[in-house]
Structure 1
Amino acid sequence: MLAIIGGSGLTEFASLEVSQRKRVSTPYGEPSAALTFGRIGGRPVVFLARHGDPHGIPPHQVNYRANLWALAECAPVGIVSVAAVGGIRSGLKPGDLVIPHQIIDYTWGRESTYHEWPDSPVRHVDFSEPFDPCLRQSLIDAAEATGAAVSASAVYAATQGPRLETAAEIDRLERDGAAVVGMTGMPEAVLARELAIAYAAINVVANYAAGRGDSRQGISLEAIHGVLDASMHRVRAIIERMLSAND
């Protein structure tokens, strides 16, 4: 079973043949929404809306620990995260798809580990490569098979939100090497690593980051929604193809 976490623009999966919706509780509280079980092209999946259903939980208040714990209890073969991002790197434009390979974490104050004193001893996890290489390659291969153009590597900057960044902050992120900016990649990725679940992401560039392209004078939130509506069908097609290729 594959787990899918849907972010802004993907609060449901149109081709999912739903068999069950289940509300669960975890030692870390309630997940963002009920888990939706079903099949896509005959393959079992579990879907979770990261920001709730309806979309209402801001990124800094998502209960990431509960979300990942609930999915882990389903024993998935991996987790695919779908999220909207701002494009920083030259050449990235709204509507482009990105499969990141690295993360820089700029968030603060989020519950970011399952290993906390006194309930758990100190445990360090290797996070050199934050995304599972095999799962990433499956997404890249599926994108190629569907004819969808993707950037097969990018550094994802995880910021606190819910506000968007200043142009000066984006300049700093670019100097740090970031190609895209989002608000949900951390601690989601590291929690999956602590739970030993393969995790990869596919990002939709929803807008130029502040100070870039047509965002030089400000970012249109209405335009972001339009880009996501027009782009998510390609994300769905990639995930569907990845599932069928794993038969």
Structure 2
Amino acid sequence: MVEVAVIGGSGVYSLDFIENPEKTRITTPYGESPKVITGELENREVAFMPRHGKGHATPPHKINFRANLWGLKELGVERIIATTAVGSLNRKIEPGDFVLLDQFLDFTKKRPSTFYDGEDDGVVHVDMTDPYCSELRKVLLNKAKELKFSVHSAGTYACMEGPRFETAAEIKMLKKLGGDVVGMTNVPECVLARELEICYSTVSVVTNLAAGISEEKLTHDEVSEIMERNIEKVKKLIFSSIPEIPKTRSCKCDQALEGAKVEP
């Protein structure tokens, strides 16, 4: 049974530290997952899934988040560490910094965001007061500090639909609403993980200053360049954090559905 999964975002398309790797693709009620690499890391069963598929083939608004998360659940995954590339809304959060998210703002428009669509699936109102697993965030924060990486212990992620970058007015709005970073993929991914009672935490890598804050044209080339410059640090943080994750969960992520289901 796979214990820990890593979901790689922009720039994170493989993890070379997985031992005895095997590739698999999982068929779910929601479609087929991208190819997942399963293997071992210091006697822990782990998996790696590229969120955008091979070669970043799938844009953010077309990612089949439900198939991705359901597939990992079928592997037995209880913990997920995800990576995201983000733009900064705060000049104190600079390109190259890591942010361990603790809140999000959702501005997505047309993505299926729940496994519970009513009728046969039932209705669930899951609590998202604290969207990210506190236990995983603590492990990642302690390890990032130990490695002397520039890390922010908390941050609010504003999720936009994409695939375009935001306007300067949108960024101004998000900043006033309390956003710290902006991206296109963390929602509904973290919500679906909660519905499956999977612990979930994100390492966000700041790749640029957002529109209207940056004086330069926003390009994906810039995102790729910063990610490439920091990819080894991302891998090192994840590689060194996974063995530190407690075998037994002490958080409440595995109780997410208690009291959440609407009983007819």
**Short-chain TM bin:** over 0.9
CA deviation after TM superposition for structure 1 residue 188, in Å = 0.3
In structure 1, the partner of 2:15 is 13
Q: Does 1:22 align with 2:15?
A: no
Give the secondary-structure state (helix, strand or coil) at the position aligned to 1:105.
Answer: strand
Residue in 1 aligned with 2:224? 225
CA RMSD of aligned residues (A): 1.3
Q: Is the 8 A contact 1:206 1:228 kept in 2?
A: yes
Counterpart residue number, 2:175: 174
Cα deviation, residue 44, structure 1: 2.1
Counterparts of 2:93 and 2:143, CA distance in 1: 20
Query: Is this contact kept in 1: 2:85–2:223, CA < 8 A?
Result: no
* SS of structure 1 residue aligned to 2:12: coil
Q: Which amino acid aligns with 1:125?
A: V
Q: What amino acid maps onto 1:243 in structure 2?
A: I
Equivalent residue number for residue 130 of structure 2: 129
SS in 2 for 1:5: strand
Alpha-carbon distance in structure 2 between the residues aligned to 1:126 and 1:146? 33
Partners of 1:146 and 1:241 within 8 A in 2: no
> Alpha-carbon deviation of 1:195?
0.3
- Structure 2, unaligned stretches of length 5 or more? 247-264
C-alpha deviation, 1:228, in angstroms? 0.5
Post-superposition shift, 1:42? 4.2
Distance apart, 1:77 and its partner CA? 2.9
Match in the other structure for 1:241: 240
Indicate if the aligned counterparts of 1:12 and 1:49 stay in contact, CA closer than 8 A. yes
**Alignment deviations for residues 223-242 of structure 1 (CA, whole Å, 9 cap, x no partner):** 22111001121111111111
Q: Specify the SS of the correspondent of 1:75.
A: coil
Conserved? CA contact 1:5–1:81, under 8 Å:
yes
Corresponding residue for residue 151 of structure 1: 152
Following superposition, the deviation at residue 127 of structure 1 comes to 0.6
Aligned mates of 2:62, 2:219 — CA distance in 1: 23
How far is the alpha carbon of 1:18 from its aligned partner?
Answer: 4.1
Taking the TM superposition and a 5 Å limit, the aligned residue runs for 1:27-176 are 27-31=29-33, 33-176=34-177
Q: 2:223 and 2:109 mapped to 1: Cα distance?
A: 25
Q: Which deviations, in whole Å up to 9, do the C-alpha atoms of 1:192-216 show, x marking residues without a partner? A: 000000000000001110111xx22
- How many Å separate the matches in 2 of 1:226 and 1:40? 28
Counterpart in the other structure of 2:184: 183
* Paired positions, count: 244
TM (norm. structure 1) is: 0.95
